[in-house]
Chain A
Amino acid sequence: MSGHHTSTQPATIAEALQQLTGLNPLRCYQCGKCSAGCPMAEEMGGLPPHALIRLVQTDHRDKLLKSEAIWLCLTCETCSARCPNDVQPARLIDGLRELALSADPLAAPRPIRAFHEAFLEQVRSHGRMAELWMIFGYKLGSGDLFSDALAAPGMLTRGKLKLIPQNIAGVEEVRRIFEGVKELEQAQASKQAAPPEGGAADHG
Protein backbone atom coordinates (compact mmCIF):
# COMPACT_ATOMS: atom_id res chain seq x y z
CA MET A 1 0.00 0.00 0.00
CA SER A 2 1.55 3.28 -0.97
CA GLY A 3 1.60 6.42 1.07
CA HIS A 4 0.62 8.94 -1.56
CA HIS A 5 0.43 12.58 -0.62
CA THR A 6 1.77 12.53 2.86
CA SER A 7 2.74 16.04 3.74
CA THR A 8 5.97 15.53 5.68
CA GLN A 9 9.01 16.74 3.89
CA PRO A 10 11.24 13.76 3.09
CA ALA A 11 14.69 14.11 4.63
CA THR A 12 16.41 11.57 2.41
CA ILE A 13 15.98 10.33 -1.13
CA ALA A 14 14.97 6.95 0.28
CA GLU A 15 12.12 8.62 2.17
CA ALA A 16 11.12 10.64 -0.90
CA LEU A 17 10.96 7.43 -2.94
CA GLN A 18 8.99 5.68 -0.25
CA GLN A 19 6.45 8.53 -0.16
CA LEU A 20 6.13 8.37 -3.91
CA THR A 21 5.98 4.61 -4.42
CA GLY A 22 5.10 3.06 -1.08
CA LEU A 23 8.21 0.89 -1.42
CA ASN A 24 11.16 0.77 0.97
CA PRO A 25 14.54 0.88 -0.84
CA LEU A 26 16.31 -0.04 2.40
CA ARG A 27 15.06 -3.61 1.98
CA CYS A 28 17.66 -4.17 -0.75
CA TYR A 29 20.57 -6.32 0.48
CA GLN A 30 22.64 -5.87 -2.68
CA CYS A 31 22.55 -9.39 -4.06
CA GLY A 32 22.89 -7.98 -7.57
CA LYS A 33 20.38 -10.27 -9.22
CA CYS A 34 18.62 -7.26 -10.76
CA SER A 35 21.79 -6.11 -12.49
CA ALA A 36 22.65 -9.63 -13.62
CA GLY A 37 19.43 -9.81 -15.63
CA CYS A 38 19.21 -6.17 -16.72
CA PRO A 39 19.47 -5.80 -20.51
CA MET A 40 20.79 -2.24 -20.18
CA ALA A 41 23.25 -2.81 -17.29
CA GLU A 42 26.31 -2.72 -19.52
CA GLU A 43 25.38 0.73 -20.83
CA MET A 44 24.63 2.29 -17.45
CA GLY A 45 28.10 3.67 -16.85
CA GLY A 46 28.79 1.70 -13.68
CA LEU A 47 25.34 2.36 -12.22
CA PRO A 48 23.28 -0.78 -12.94
CA PRO A 49 20.10 -1.24 -10.88
CA HIS A 50 21.63 -2.57 -7.66
CA ALA A 51 24.18 0.28 -7.68
CA LEU A 52 21.37 2.82 -8.13
CA ILE A 53 19.55 1.35 -5.15
CA ARG A 54 22.77 1.47 -3.13
CA LEU A 55 23.09 5.20 -3.93
CA VAL A 56 19.53 5.63 -2.70
CA GLN A 57 20.43 3.89 0.55
CA THR A 58 23.49 6.09 1.02
CA ASP A 59 21.48 9.19 0.05
CA HIS A 60 23.52 10.34 -2.95
CA ARG A 61 20.71 12.49 -4.25
CA ASP A 62 22.56 14.61 -6.80
CA LYS A 63 24.49 11.73 -8.29
CA LEU A 64 21.24 9.78 -8.75
CA LEU A 65 19.04 12.51 -10.13
CA LYS A 66 21.71 13.70 -12.57
CA SER A 67 22.68 10.22 -13.75
CA GLU A 68 22.00 9.05 -17.28
CA ALA A 69 21.45 5.51 -15.96
CA ILE A 70 17.97 6.19 -14.55
CA TRP A 71 16.82 7.13 -18.07
CA LEU A 72 18.11 3.95 -19.65
CA CYS A 73 15.78 1.64 -17.74
CA LEU A 74 13.39 0.02 -20.24
CA THR A 75 10.85 -0.91 -17.55
CA CYS A 76 11.08 -4.49 -18.80
CA GLU A 77 10.47 -5.54 -15.17
CA THR A 78 13.05 -8.34 -15.21
CA CYS A 79 14.65 -6.91 -12.06
CA SER A 80 11.36 -6.64 -10.18
CA ALA A 81 10.28 -10.14 -11.23
CA ARG A 82 13.53 -11.67 -9.97
CA CYS A 83 14.21 -9.63 -6.84
CA PRO A 84 14.30 -12.02 -3.87
CA ASN A 85 13.17 -9.34 -1.44
CA ASP A 86 10.46 -7.59 -3.48
CA VAL A 87 12.34 -4.31 -3.67
CA GLN A 88 10.86 -3.60 -7.12
CA PRO A 89 13.80 -1.77 -8.68
CA ALA A 90 11.83 -0.94 -11.87
CA ARG A 91 9.20 0.96 -9.90
CA LEU A 92 11.89 2.70 -7.84
CA ILE A 93 13.70 3.79 -11.00
CA ASP A 94 10.42 5.19 -12.39
CA GLY A 95 10.18 7.07 -9.08
CA LEU A 96 13.74 8.38 -9.47
CA ARG A 97 12.80 9.69 -12.91
CA GLU A 98 9.80 11.47 -11.43
CA LEU A 99 11.95 13.02 -8.70
CA ALA A 100 14.59 14.06 -11.25
CA LEU A 101 11.96 15.75 -13.42
CA SER A 102 10.39 17.57 -10.51
CA ALA A 103 13.83 18.88 -9.49
CA ASP A 104 14.72 19.78 -13.07
CA PRO A 105 12.29 19.46 -15.99
CA LEU A 106 15.28 19.15 -18.33
CA ALA A 107 16.85 16.26 -16.41
CA ALA A 108 16.48 13.56 -19.08
CA PRO A 109 19.06 13.26 -21.87
CA ARG A 110 17.83 15.35 -24.79
CA PRO A 111 16.73 12.59 -27.21
CA ILE A 112 14.88 10.71 -24.47
CA ARG A 113 13.23 13.89 -23.24
CA ALA A 114 12.27 14.79 -26.81
CA PHE A 115 10.68 11.36 -27.29
CA HIS A 116 8.57 11.58 -24.13
CA GLU A 117 7.52 15.16 -24.91
CA ALA A 118 6.59 14.34 -28.51
CA PHE A 119 4.69 11.23 -27.42
CA LEU A 120 2.72 12.93 -24.67
CA GLU A 121 2.01 15.99 -26.81
CA GLN A 122 0.33 13.71 -29.38
CA VAL A 123 -1.80 12.12 -26.70
CA ARG A 124 -2.71 15.46 -25.11
CA SER A 125 -3.58 17.06 -28.47
CA HIS A 126 -5.47 14.22 -30.12
CA GLY A 127 -6.23 11.62 -27.43
CA ARG A 128 -4.18 9.11 -29.41
CA MET A 129 -0.65 8.97 -30.70
CA ALA A 130 -0.23 9.46 -34.45
CA GLU A 131 3.16 7.83 -34.98
CA LEU A 132 4.21 9.93 -37.98
CA TRP A 133 3.60 13.19 -36.14
CA MET A 134 5.19 11.88 -32.99
CA ILE A 135 8.33 11.21 -35.03
CA PHE A 136 8.29 14.73 -36.51
CA GLY A 137 7.88 16.15 -33.02
CA TYR A 138 10.74 13.98 -31.80
CA LYS A 139 13.03 15.11 -34.60
CA LEU A 140 12.38 18.77 -33.94
CA GLY A 141 12.86 18.38 -30.20
CA SER A 142 15.94 16.18 -30.34
CA GLY A 143 17.77 17.83 -33.23
CA ASP A 144 18.25 14.27 -34.48
CA LEU A 145 17.01 15.25 -37.95
CA PHE A 146 18.76 12.85 -40.25
CA SER A 147 18.57 9.48 -38.54
CA ASP A 148 16.10 6.89 -39.78
CA ALA A 149 13.88 7.29 -36.71
CA LEU A 150 11.17 4.98 -38.02
CA ALA A 151 11.98 5.53 -41.72
CA ALA A 152 8.71 7.19 -42.61
CA PRO A 153 8.88 6.49 -46.37
CA GLY A 154 9.15 2.70 -45.98
CA MET A 155 6.41 2.79 -43.36
CA LEU A 156 4.18 4.90 -45.61
CA THR A 157 4.50 2.65 -48.66
CA ARG A 158 3.53 -0.28 -46.44
CA GLY A 159 0.43 1.58 -45.33
CA LYS A 160 1.72 1.70 -41.76
CA LEU A 161 1.45 5.41 -41.01
CA LYS A 162 -1.60 7.62 -40.90
CA LEU A 163 -1.05 11.01 -42.50
CA ILE A 164 -3.72 13.03 -40.76
CA PRO A 165 -4.11 12.76 -37.00
CA GLN A 166 -7.75 12.79 -35.91
CA ASN A 167 -8.96 13.86 -32.51
CA ILE A 168 -11.07 11.44 -30.52
CA ALA A 169 -14.47 12.75 -29.44
CA GLY A 170 -13.39 12.76 -25.79
CA VAL A 171 -10.14 14.65 -26.32
CA GLU A 172 -11.20 17.23 -23.71
CA GLU A 173 -11.50 14.45 -21.14
CA VAL A 174 -7.93 13.39 -21.90
CA ARG A 175 -6.71 16.98 -21.62
CA ARG A 176 -8.44 17.28 -18.26
CA ILE A 177 -6.54 14.21 -17.08
CA PHE A 178 -3.24 15.85 -18.06
CA GLU A 179 -4.23 19.11 -16.35
CA GLY A 180 -5.58 17.38 -13.26
CA VAL A 181 -2.39 15.34 -12.84
CA LYS A 182 -0.28 18.47 -13.25
CA GLU A 183 -2.28 20.34 -10.62
CA LEU A 184 -2.05 17.47 -8.15
CA GLU A 185 1.67 17.13 -8.67
CA GLN A 186 2.28 20.86 -8.32
CA ALA A 187 0.28 20.91 -5.10
CA GLN A 188 2.32 17.97 -3.87
CA ALA A 189 5.62 19.63 -4.83
CA SER A 190 4.77 22.90 -3.06
CA LYS A 191 3.73 20.99 0.08
CA GLN A 192 7.07 19.22 0.10
CA ALA A 193 8.98 22.44 -0.57
CA ALA A 194 7.30 24.25 2.34
CA PRO A 195 9.28 24.09 5.59
CA PRO A 196 7.79 21.38 7.77
CA GLU A 197 6.20 22.52 11.01
CA GLY A 198 8.73 22.26 13.81
CA GLY A 199 11.36 19.62 14.26
CA ALA A 200 13.01 20.37 10.91
CA ALA A 201 16.42 20.62 12.52
CA ASP A 202 16.18 16.96 13.53
CA HIS A 203 16.93 16.01 9.98
CA GLY A 204 19.81 18.50 9.72
Chain B
Amino acid sequence: MKLGFYPGCSMHGTAREYSESLQAIAGPLGIELEEVRDWSCCGASSGHQTSHLLGVALAARNLSLAEEQGHERLLAPCAACYGRLAGARHELQQDAALAAQVGKLLTRPFANAVGVINAVELLRDIAPAIKEKASRPLQGLKVACYYGCLLVRPPEVAAYDDAEDPSSLETIVKATGAEPVRWHKRTECCGAGLSISRRPSVIRLGREILGDARQAGAQAVVVACPMCHSNLDFRQQAMARGGEPFAMPILYVTQLVGLALGVSAQELGIQRHFVDADPVLAQLAAPRSLPAPAQP
Protein backbone atom coordinates (compact mmCIF):
# COMPACT_ATOMS: atom_id res chain seq x y z
CA MET B 1 0.00 0.00 0.00
CA LYS B 2 1.45 3.34 -1.07
CA LEU B 3 0.42 6.54 0.65
CA GLY B 4 1.37 10.19 0.55
CA PHE B 5 2.74 11.21 3.93
CA TYR B 6 2.12 14.61 5.51
CA PRO B 7 4.26 14.76 8.68
CA GLY B 8 3.44 18.31 9.75
CA CYS B 9 5.60 20.53 11.93
CA SER B 10 5.37 18.53 15.16
CA MET B 11 6.53 15.24 13.67
CA HIS B 12 9.67 17.05 12.56
CA GLY B 13 10.17 18.39 16.09
CA THR B 14 8.56 17.62 19.44
CA ALA B 15 6.86 14.51 18.09
CA ARG B 16 9.75 13.08 16.09
CA GLU B 17 9.30 9.70 17.82
CA TYR B 18 5.80 9.50 16.34
CA SER B 19 7.44 9.73 12.93
CA GLU B 20 10.27 7.34 13.88
CA SER B 21 7.86 4.72 15.15
CA LEU B 22 5.58 5.11 12.12
CA GLN B 23 8.53 4.60 9.76
CA ALA B 24 9.67 1.60 11.83
CA ILE B 25 6.35 -0.24 11.50
CA ALA B 26 5.54 0.80 7.93
CA GLY B 27 7.96 -1.64 6.28
CA PRO B 28 6.90 -4.74 8.25
CA LEU B 29 3.24 -3.88 7.63
CA GLY B 30 3.73 -3.38 3.90
CA ILE B 31 3.07 0.35 3.86
CA GLU B 32 5.11 2.60 1.60
CA LEU B 33 5.14 6.22 2.69
CA GLU B 34 6.18 9.02 0.38
CA GLU B 35 6.57 12.38 2.09
CA VAL B 36 4.80 15.22 0.28
CA ARG B 37 7.58 17.34 -1.19
CA ASP B 38 7.81 20.90 0.09
CA TRP B 39 4.78 20.62 2.38
CA SER B 40 3.93 23.64 4.51
CA CYS B 41 2.22 24.07 7.87
CA CYS B 42 -1.45 23.04 7.85
CA GLY B 43 -2.36 26.18 9.81
CA ALA B 44 -3.60 24.46 12.99
CA SER B 45 -4.69 25.95 15.21
CA SER B 46 -3.89 29.65 14.92
CA GLY B 47 -4.91 29.84 11.26
CA HIS B 48 -8.62 29.16 11.61
CA GLN B 49 -8.87 30.85 15.00
CA THR B 50 -7.90 34.17 13.49
CA SER B 51 -9.08 33.78 9.89
CA HIS B 52 -11.23 30.99 8.56
CA LEU B 53 -10.10 31.56 5.00
CA LEU B 54 -6.43 31.47 5.99
CA GLY B 55 -6.96 28.18 7.83
CA VAL B 56 -8.57 26.56 4.81
CA ALA B 57 -6.09 28.00 2.30
CA LEU B 58 -3.01 26.87 4.25
CA ALA B 59 -4.39 23.35 4.38
CA ALA B 60 -5.40 23.43 0.72
CA ARG B 61 -1.86 24.21 -0.45
CA ASN B 62 -0.79 20.82 0.93
CA LEU B 63 -3.74 19.01 -0.58
CA SER B 64 -2.85 20.53 -3.95
CA LEU B 65 0.80 19.44 -3.61
CA ALA B 66 -0.22 15.87 -2.79
CA GLU B 67 -2.50 15.90 -5.81
CA GLU B 68 0.23 17.25 -8.09
CA GLN B 69 2.61 14.56 -6.82
CA GLY B 70 0.16 11.85 -7.82
CA HIS B 71 -1.14 10.65 -4.47
CA GLU B 72 -4.62 9.25 -4.12
CA ARG B 73 -4.58 9.09 -0.36
CA LEU B 74 -2.70 11.23 2.10
CA LEU B 75 -1.74 10.03 5.58
CA ALA B 76 -1.75 12.81 8.20
CA PRO B 77 -0.84 11.08 11.48
CA CYS B 78 -1.00 14.25 13.60
CA ALA B 79 -4.62 14.61 14.72
CA ALA B 80 -4.47 18.40 14.42
CA CYS B 81 -3.08 18.25 10.86
CA TYR B 82 -5.63 15.57 10.03
CA GLY B 83 -8.41 17.80 11.35
CA ARG B 84 -7.24 20.74 9.26
CA LEU B 85 -6.55 18.81 6.03
CA ALA B 86 -9.59 16.54 6.13
CA GLY B 87 -11.72 19.44 7.39
CA ALA B 88 -10.60 21.71 4.55
CA ARG B 89 -11.21 18.96 2.00
CA HIS B 90 -14.71 18.45 3.35
CA GLU B 91 -15.54 22.13 3.48
CA LEU B 92 -14.23 22.79 -0.03
CA GLN B 93 -16.43 19.98 -1.30
CA GLN B 94 -19.48 21.53 0.34
CA ASP B 95 -18.90 25.20 -0.40
CA ALA B 96 -18.32 26.27 -3.99
CA ALA B 97 -17.88 29.95 -3.12
CA LEU B 98 -15.13 29.11 -0.64
CA ALA B 99 -13.50 26.75 -3.15
CA ALA B 100 -13.43 29.52 -5.76
CA GLN B 101 -11.79 31.90 -3.28
CA VAL B 102 -9.20 29.35 -2.24
CA GLY B 103 -8.53 28.41 -5.86
CA LYS B 104 -7.47 32.00 -6.52
CA LEU B 105 -5.08 31.96 -3.55
CA LEU B 106 -3.24 28.85 -4.74
CA THR B 107 -0.72 28.92 -7.55
CA ARG B 108 -1.40 25.48 -9.00
CA PRO B 109 -4.41 23.58 -10.31
CA PHE B 110 -6.42 21.98 -7.54
CA ALA B 111 -9.26 19.48 -7.98
CA ASN B 112 -9.57 18.50 -4.30
CA ALA B 113 -9.12 14.88 -5.34
CA VAL B 114 -6.94 13.49 -2.53
CA GLY B 115 -8.49 11.58 0.39
CA VAL B 116 -7.05 12.23 3.85
CA ILE B 117 -6.66 9.51 6.47
CA ASN B 118 -5.13 9.41 9.94
CA ALA B 119 -2.89 6.77 11.50
CA VAL B 120 -5.68 5.27 13.60
CA GLU B 121 -7.91 4.67 10.62
CA LEU B 122 -4.96 3.20 8.69
CA LEU B 123 -3.88 0.81 11.48
CA ARG B 124 -7.44 -0.22 12.33
CA ASP B 125 -7.99 -1.34 8.76
CA ILE B 126 -4.88 -3.56 8.88
CA ALA B 127 -5.40 -4.80 12.45
CA PRO B 128 -5.51 -8.46 11.28
CA ALA B 129 -2.03 -8.05 9.75
CA ILE B 130 -0.76 -6.52 13.00
CA LYS B 131 -2.10 -9.48 14.94
CA GLU B 132 -0.57 -11.93 12.54
CA LYS B 133 2.85 -10.27 12.62
CA ALA B 134 3.00 -9.64 16.36
CA SER B 135 6.13 -11.44 17.49
CA ARG B 136 5.79 -9.99 20.96
CA PRO B 137 2.10 -9.90 21.78
CA LEU B 138 1.57 -7.47 24.65
CA GLN B 139 -0.64 -9.74 26.79
CA GLY B 140 -1.26 -8.44 30.26
CA LEU B 141 -0.67 -4.77 29.41
CA LYS B 142 -3.69 -2.62 30.23
CA VAL B 143 -3.93 0.56 28.23
CA ALA B 144 -6.35 3.47 28.03
CA CYS B 145 -7.13 4.44 24.42
CA TYR B 146 -7.28 8.23 24.26
CA TYR B 147 -8.83 9.83 21.19
CA GLY B 148 -9.12 13.42 22.34
CA CYS B 149 -10.96 15.75 20.02
CA LEU B 150 -9.88 15.93 16.41
CA LEU B 151 -9.48 12.20 15.73
CA VAL B 152 -13.23 11.75 16.02
CA ARG B 153 -14.72 15.22 15.48
CA PRO B 154 -16.37 16.82 13.63
CA PRO B 155 -18.26 13.59 12.89
CA GLU B 156 -18.86 14.48 9.23
CA VAL B 157 -15.08 14.86 8.74
CA ALA B 158 -13.86 11.96 10.90
CA ALA B 159 -16.51 9.64 9.52
CA TYR B 160 -14.36 6.50 9.87
CA ASP B 161 -15.51 5.99 13.47
CA ASP B 162 -18.26 6.90 15.92
CA ALA B 163 -17.78 10.33 17.52
CA GLU B 164 -19.22 9.38 20.91
CA ASP B 165 -18.21 5.74 21.20
CA PRO B 166 -15.23 5.15 18.92
CA SER B 167 -13.54 1.74 18.73
CA SER B 168 -10.66 2.02 16.22
CA LEU B 169 -7.90 2.41 18.81
CA GLU B 170 -9.32 -0.45 20.86
CA THR B 171 -9.28 -2.65 17.73
CA ILE B 172 -5.60 -1.85 17.18
CA VAL B 173 -4.73 -2.38 20.84
CA LYS B 174 -6.44 -5.77 20.86
CA ALA B 175 -4.45 -6.75 17.76
CA THR B 176 -1.24 -6.09 19.72
CA GLY B 177 -2.44 -8.42 22.47
CA ALA B 178 -2.78 -5.63 25.02
CA GLU B 179 -6.05 -5.01 26.83
CA PRO B 180 -7.99 -1.76 26.39
CA VAL B 181 -9.63 -0.60 29.63
CA ARG B 182 -13.12 0.90 29.79
CA TRP B 183 -12.94 4.51 30.86
CA HIS B 184 -14.81 7.78 30.51
CA LYS B 185 -12.47 10.47 29.20
CA ARG B 186 -11.61 8.87 25.87
CA THR B 187 -12.91 11.69 23.71
CA GLU B 188 -12.48 14.65 26.07
CA CYS B 189 -10.19 17.39 24.79
CA CYS B 190 -6.79 17.76 26.50
CA GLY B 191 -6.73 21.50 25.87
CA ALA B 192 -3.73 21.52 23.57
CA GLY B 193 -4.76 24.71 21.80
CA LEU B 194 -4.05 26.60 25.03
CA SER B 195 -1.05 24.50 26.08
CA ILE B 196 1.36 27.39 25.89
CA SER B 197 -0.84 30.41 26.43
CA ARG B 198 -2.96 29.16 29.36
CA ARG B 199 -1.19 26.39 31.24
CA PRO B 200 -3.46 26.07 34.29
CA SER B 201 -6.37 25.08 32.03
CA VAL B 202 -4.51 22.30 30.28
CA ILE B 203 -3.07 21.03 33.55
CA ARG B 204 -6.60 20.76 34.95
CA LEU B 205 -7.87 18.94 31.86
CA GLY B 206 -4.87 16.60 31.76
CA ARG B 207 -5.21 15.77 35.43
CA GLU B 208 -8.84 14.78 34.92
CA ILE B 209 -7.93 12.58 31.94
CA LEU B 210 -5.01 10.80 33.60
CA GLY B 211 -6.90 10.42 36.88
CA ASP B 212 -9.68 8.62 35.07
CA ALA B 213 -7.23 6.41 33.16
CA ARG B 214 -5.49 5.46 36.39
CA GLN B 215 -8.77 4.70 38.12
CA ALA B 216 -9.72 2.38 35.26
CA GLY B 217 -6.52 0.41 35.87
CA ALA B 218 -4.54 1.57 32.84
CA GLN B 219 -0.75 1.12 32.93
CA ALA B 220 -0.25 3.36 29.92
CA VAL B 221 -2.24 5.74 27.75
CA VAL B 222 -2.20 5.33 23.97
CA VAL B 223 -2.49 8.45 21.82
CA ALA B 224 -2.30 9.39 18.14
CA CYS B 225 -1.70 13.13 18.39
CA PRO B 226 1.48 15.10 19.07
CA MET B 227 -0.44 17.76 21.01
CA CYS B 228 -2.14 15.21 23.27
CA HIS B 229 1.21 13.51 23.76
CA SER B 230 3.08 16.63 24.65
CA ASN B 231 0.35 17.72 27.05
CA LEU B 232 -0.08 14.41 28.84
CA ASP B 233 3.61 13.43 28.88
CA PHE B 234 5.54 16.65 29.33
CA ARG B 235 3.00 18.31 31.63
CA GLN B 236 2.39 15.23 33.72
CA GLN B 237 4.73 16.35 36.45
CA ALA B 238 2.85 19.62 36.85
CA MET B 239 -0.49 17.76 36.92
CA ALA B 240 0.50 15.71 39.93
CA ARG B 241 1.82 18.67 41.92
CA GLY B 242 0.96 18.13 45.55
CA GLY B 243 -0.34 14.61 44.95
CA GLU B 244 0.92 11.21 43.99
CA PRO B 245 2.74 11.30 40.63
CA PHE B 246 0.81 9.61 37.85
CA ALA B 247 3.91 7.86 36.42
CA MET B 248 1.68 7.06 33.45
CA PRO B 249 3.65 6.41 30.25
CA ILE B 250 2.03 7.98 27.18
CA LEU B 251 2.68 5.92 24.07
CA TYR B 252 1.95 6.73 20.46
CA VAL B 253 -0.22 4.02 18.91
CA THR B 254 2.60 3.42 16.41
CA GLN B 255 4.96 2.73 19.33
CA LEU B 256 2.58 0.20 20.84
CA VAL B 257 2.24 -1.55 17.48
CA GLY B 258 6.03 -1.42 17.06
CA LEU B 259 6.57 -3.10 20.43
CA ALA B 260 4.21 -5.89 19.42
CA LEU B 261 6.06 -6.30 16.13
CA GLY B 262 9.28 -6.77 18.12
CA VAL B 263 10.85 -3.39 17.26
CA SER B 264 13.15 -2.11 20.04
CA ALA B 265 11.96 0.67 22.35
CA GLN B 266 15.03 2.64 21.27
CA GLU B 267 14.12 2.46 17.60
CA LEU B 268 10.59 3.53 18.46
CA GLY B 269 11.91 6.62 20.24
CA ILE B 270 10.29 5.73 23.57
CA GLN B 271 13.35 7.11 25.41
CA ARG B 272 12.42 10.58 24.15
CA HIS B 273 9.39 10.74 26.44
CA PHE B 274 9.45 12.64 29.72
CA VAL B 275 7.61 9.92 31.66
CA ASP B 276 9.76 6.79 31.91
CA ALA B 277 8.08 3.82 30.25
CA ASP B 278 10.75 1.29 31.34
CA PRO B 279 8.90 -0.02 34.43
CA VAL B 280 5.92 -0.89 32.24
CA LEU B 281 8.00 -2.23 29.34
CA ALA B 282 9.98 -4.44 31.75
CA GLN B 283 6.82 -6.42 32.46
CA LEU B 284 6.39 -7.39 28.83
CA ALA B 285 7.47 -10.79 27.59
CA ALA B 286 10.53 -10.93 25.34
CA PRO B 287 9.89 -11.11 21.58
CA ARG B 288 9.62 -14.66 20.34
CA SER B 289 10.59 -15.77 16.89
CA LEU B 290 7.61 -16.38 14.69
CA PRO B 291 7.41 -19.74 12.95
CA ALA B 292 9.00 -19.46 9.52
CA PRO B 293 6.47 -19.27 6.69
CA ALA B 294 5.73 -22.71 5.30
CA GLN B 295 7.95 -23.60 2.38
CA PRO B 296 6.15 -24.27 -0.89
A72 contacts chain B at the CB level, 8 A cutoff: yes
Q: Chain B residue with minimal CB distance to A158? A: B272
Instruction: Say yes or no: A138-B48 contact (C-beta < 8 A), given A22-B95, A74-B191.
Output: no
* Interchain CB contact under 8 A, A142 and B197: yes
> How many residues of A are in contact with the other chain, CB < 8 A?
68
Q: Mark B54-77, 1 if CB is under 8 A from A, else 0.
A: 100110010000000000000000
A200 within 8 A of B: no
With A130-B13, A138-B197, A181-B54 as contacts: A168 and B153 at CB distance below 8 Å: no
Provide the residues of chain B in CB contact with A80, threshold 8 Å: 153-154
Within 8 Å of chain A (Cβ to Cβ): is B244?
A: no
* Binary contact track A122-144/B, C-beta < 8 Å → 1, others 0: 11000111111001001000100
Contact bitstring B153-174, A, C-beta under 8 A = 1, else 0: 1110000000110000000000
User: Least Cβ distance of B146 to chain A in Å?
Assistant: 13
Quick one: closest B residue to A119, CB to CB? Answer: B46
Within 8 A of A (CB), among B61-113: 61, 94-98, 101, 104-107
Asked whether A177 lies within 8 Å of B54 as measured between CB atoms, the reply is: yes
B residues 200-231 touching A (CB-CB < 8 Å): 201, 205, 230
A-B contact pairs, 10 of them (CB 8 A): A40-B201, A74-B192, A75-B48, A76-B153, A120-B50, A131-B13, A151-B234, A168-B40, A170-B38, A181-B57
Could you tell me which B residues sit within 8 Å of A by CB distance?
9-10, 12-16, 38-41, 43, 45-54, 57-58, 61, 94-98, 101, 104-107, 148-150, 153-155, 163-164, 187-189, 191-199, 201, 205, 230, 234, 238, 271-274
- Chain A interface residues toward B at CB < 8 A: 1-5, 20-22, 39-40, 43, 72, 74-78, 80-81, 90, 94-95, 97-98, 101, 111-112, 114-116, 119-120, 122-123, 127-132, 135, 138, 142, 147-151, 154-155, 158-162, 168-171, 173-174, 176-178, 180-181, 184-185
* Across the A-B interface, the 7 shortest Cβ-Cβ residue pairs: A76-B189, A76-B149, A77-B153, A119-B46, A115-B197, A116-B46, A111-B197
